[in-house]
Amino acid sequence: MQVMEWFAETLHSDWQQRMKVEKILYHDQTEHQDLIVFETGRWGTVLALDGVVQTTTGDEFAYHEMLAHPAILAHGRVRSVCIVGGGDGGTAREVMKHATVERVLQAELDPGVIEFCRKFLPTLSDGAFDDPRLELAFGDAAAFMAKDGESFDVILVDSTDPIGPGAALFTESFYRDCRRRLNEGGILVTQAGNPALAGRELADVMARKRAAGFADVDFLLTVVPTYVGGFMALGWGSDDATRRRVRSDTLRARPIPEGLRYYTPEVHVAAFAHPAWVEQVARGG
């Protein structure tokens, strides 16, 4: 097995984080990317692609819980959910915690990603891929959303950064297709980058969702320690502004899954209260 003492992330040319490697579980240069899975003492098991941390078992809950639960609980009557991407299974795991959800369709580009993560990161999906409510649709997710088909109460886009294949999931046309596939009062939540280091990404997500016709566009913030820069923005789009303005006492009266480690009704409401500098970034300033 290859020896590596430290893993150094290379996402930014002028800012680097390093993690001490306890054990490498898998490392290969595939046709498309360098893929490594390793164990650490502080962050558990880490998955990195092309030198960039994608997820860790130590703090993934801060991302997956906030991607899934605010939309589902704010809506209040979710029966159907579409997950775009999310091959590690963390988003599906959180969605499946809601007993009211009757159907989940997950559009994933590569079936190999799911099988790989089930083998090396099984706690992320935690059985979600075996839930009979879940249907997998493999192929280009942007092309899938562009087709005529069933509509959903909530669409969650758990994507990589807007480079390579992931770039198609950050376009105005993709957001327009998502809006068309939402039921009345539906909600779209998307990965929107780190406002400290990728502010243009957040500003573009906001502008493109407005251009796509969403009447209510905003973003919520979560903090994922192993994503360099701290804050992670999650873009929000709906045609019903009352969904975003739901109060914490209303949320407490709804069936919140037990055992959550990040999400609370109070955190939900606070996630839409942004520091002034982040608001400026989101406006393109």
- Among candidates 105, 77, 73, which has minimal Cα distance to 92? 105
Q: CA–CA separation, 177 vs 166, rounded Å? A: 16
Q: CA–CA separation, 16 vs 224, rounded Å? A: 16
DSSP string, the chain: ----SEEE--SBTTB--EEE-SEEEEEEE-SS-EEEEEEETTTEEEEEETTEEEEETTTHHHHHHHHHHHHHHHHS---EEEEEE-TTSHHHHHHTT-TT--EEEEEES-HHHHHHHHHH-HHHHTTGGG-TTEEEEES-HHHHHHS----EEEEEEE---SSGGGGGGGSHHHHHHHHHTEEEEEEEEEE---TTT-HHHHHHHHHHHHHTT-SEEEEEEEE-TTSTTSEEEEEEEES-HHHHT--HHHHHTS-PPTT-SS--HHHHHHTT---HHHHHHHTT-
- 161 catalytically annotated: no
Q: Are 158 and 201 within 8 A, CB to CB?
A: no
Considering the candidates 158, 177, 204, 218, report the single residue annotated as catalytic.
158
First-to-last alpha carbon distance for the chain, in angstroms, is 48
Residues marked as catalytic: 158
